[in-house]
Amino acid sequence: MTQAEDRKPQSDEARGVFDPEITSEFALPDGLAVLRAGAEPETTSEFALPDGLDVPHTPVVEPEGSAFTPPRTYSARHAPPAFTPPAGIPVVSLIKDLPWQDRMRTMLRMPVAERPAPEPVHKAEDEGPAVPRVLDLTLRIGELLLAGGEGAEDVEAAMFAVCRSYGLDRCEPNVTFTLLSISYQPSLVEDPVTASRTVRRRGTDYTRLAAVFQLVDDLSDPETHISLEEAYRRLAEIRRNRHPYPGWVLTLASGLLAGAASVLVGGDLIVFVAAALGAMCGDRLAWLCAGRGLPEFYQFTVAAMPPAAIGIALTLAHVDVKASAVVTGGLFALLPGRALVAGVQDGLTGFYITAAARLLEVMYFFVGIVVGVLLMLYVGVQLGASLDPDAAFGDNNRPLWQIGASMLLSLTFAVLLQQERSTVLAVTLNGGVAWSVYGAMHYVGEISPVASTAVAAGLVGLFGQLLSRYRFASALPYTTAAIGPLLPGSATYFGLLAIAQNDVDAGLVFVSQAAALAMAIAIGVNLGSEISRMFLRVGSADKRKSAKRTRGF
């Protein structure tokens, strides 16, 4: 027996619990004792704890749950003290007698934690509100408002009011140009419920808009208990309601609007009739294109051609009329003032995505009008029509005629917007006041047209908001038609005529002036609305704090 074989039984005995035969070169040397703790005989992870470090292990198996599940270290009985700001938490109280628009708008501009909780109401559903159905009703109401041209903030306020009327206070509505969504979270430890709806069809019907506002007002009234079934029934009736004015009345209103606009810029009786005929022909062609399924861009293009063609025909026939007034009157019936005001209002209130989409829609409509008028003007220039872009419209020192024309324009504009008959008189007077202020500042006071337009539009917005608060309705029927006399039809026409005659620089100057007038109208209307709200006491611990938004940081 060799010396190595003599030592082998002794080393095996020294190794004790290890295998009697170890052939690996990584075997532990004799005399080295390693403590083994744990169930695993060999730890191979590089993240294993080093020897000698005693860390207590509490194996807790948490079930997979919601992200809103409280952590396991939280105890409701031994909760940490709540943080109180140095200035304290303001107590918010809202005046119940004011319209729901102001109360809901004030709460929407607050953080969720600072909103006052709704008072407990008892609806017809004894078992409590069915959350999915309430959200569906809210989205359907918001869809009608957004499709009718209402501003994004007012749509959110209406959706928020509907949810709160059924006790869903922890809800967050979100409105974009084509998508409505709302999320309701019952509590901090429960999963939120979210629903959305897409707005695919848009239409101008302020009678339907007023009916939806009345429904929201009734739902927000604590003394009126309307069940979900009753609310759905009324909403279905609103959808089925027919327009208050037939098609031939709308065509006639379009012609009268164009004729009244031509009188505003100095036209006479012949110009009035020519502009009315051109606008009515354009309206019928647009209806025909709509029936064939053509997009609105082509409808505006086709509708802009007849007034321009009639103006050029009168010039070629050497009729002693102002062809520019004929074309300008036809443009007044097409300029998208409603969409412009809504787009700028959304931008000023912080809804930038919706504002960008609305302004892009306005740009497409305007380009369609430009294409239609430019085609006719190019044809007229090639045929030798003497169209002078520097020609004056005529005698503008006719205040009584112009005030009457402005009121007729507002009246016909209200009919085209399918307004309720009860609001037509108020918006007609509002339009007359707007033109009176503009004429006094521009023609008498010789103030710039942009500043005069902004002030007149501000009064329109102010009176419109006051009238809507008196009627507990939307402000659109009282403001949109009243800004009709202020639309930049003449600047648009002269810009297009200069471009058609290859005078691009002068054309861009007129087009820029038209854009400035349009922005002055939109900003003035929104500013007048905000000024009216400043004098309406809504009830808040800190109004300006609730209206603050990001300032770039």
Residue range 76-87, pLDDT digits in tens? 555 555 555 555
What number of residues does the chain have?
553
Report the pLDDT value the prediction gives residue 411, as an integer from 0 to 100.
Answer: 92
Q: What is the band of 222 on the pLDDT scale with cuts at 50, 70, 90?
A: confident
SS3 511: helix
Is a pLDDT exceeding 70 seen at residue 286?
A: yes
Lowest mean pLDDT among 24-33, 138-147, 220-229, 414-423: 24-33
Contact status, residue 103 vs residue 158, Cβ threshold 8 Å: no
> Is residue 234 predicted with pLDDT exceeding 60?
yes
Residue labelled with tokens 């107590």: 91
Predicted local distance difference test score (pLDDT) of residue 76: 53
* Unique residue bearing structure tokens 């009608």: 144
> Which of 123-132, 255-264, 312-321, 343-352 shows the highest mean pLDDT?
255-264
Whose CA is closest to 461, among 363, 358, 337?
337
pLDDT band at residue 465 under the 50/70/90 scheme? confident
pLDDT at 542: 43
The dihedral of CA 98, 100, 101, 103: what is its sign?
positive
What pLDDT, on the 0 to 100 scale, is given for residue 412?
A: 92
Per-residue pLDDT reduced to its tens digit, 511-546: 888 888 888 888 888 888 778 767 665 444 444 344
* pLDDT score for 130: 81
Task: Categorise residue 465: left if φ over 0, alpha if ψ from -120 to 50, beta otherwise.
Answer: alpha
Output 188 or 347, whichever has higher pLDDT. 347
| Residue of higher predicted confidence among 540 and 162 | 162
Contacts of residue 332, defined as CB under 8 A and 6 or more positions apart, other chains included, come to 257, 258, 261, 409, 484, 487, 489
Section 426-444 average pLDDT? 89
Question: Is residue 124's pLDDT more than 60?
Answer: no
- Give yes or no for a contact between 278 and 249, defined as CB atoms under 8 angstroms apart: no
Check whether 291 has a pLDDT greater than 90: no
**Angle 231-232-233 (CA atoms, 0-180°, nearest 5)?**
90
Amino acid at position 89, single letter: I
Q: With 70 as the cut, is the pLDDT of residue 288 above it?
A: yes
Q: Largest alpha-carbon pair distance within the chain?
A: 139
The CA-atom distances, in angstroms, between 452 and each of 113, 398, 410 are 44, 18, 18
Say what the pLDDT of residue 538 is: 46
Q: What is residue 343's predicted lDDT score, i.e. its pLDDT?
A: 83
Q: What is the pLDDT of residue 548?
A: 43
pLDDT single digits (tens) 354-401: 889 888 888 888 888 888 888 888 888 788 776 655 454 555 667 888
Model confidence at 408, pLDDT cuts 50, 70, 90, reads very high
- What does the pLDDT read at residue 17? 46
pLDDT at residue number 331: 80
User: Residue 18's pLDDT band (boundaries 50, 70, 90)?
Assistant: very low
Q: Is 353 left (phi over 0), alpha (psi -120 to 50) or beta?
A: alpha
| DSSP secondary structure code for residue 441 in this structure | I
Residue 290 · residue 299 · CB < 8 Å: yes
Q: Contact 449/467 with Cβ under 8 angstroms?
A: no
Is pLDDT above 70 for 5?
no
Average pLDDT over residues 201-209: 82
d(CA 447, CA 207): 37
Instruction: Please name the residue that has the structure tokens 């704890």.
Output: 49
pLDDT reported for residue 123: 44
Please provide the average confidence, as pLDDT, over all residues in the chain: 76
Q: pLDDT tens across 303-358, in order? A: 989 988 888 888 888 777 777 788 888 888 888 877 877 888 888 888 888 889 88
Please check the confidence at residue 16 and state whether its pLDDT lies above 50.
no
d(CA 103, CA 298): 42
pLDDT of residue 88: 53
User: Residue 383, Cβ neighbours under 10 Å: how many?
Assistant: 11
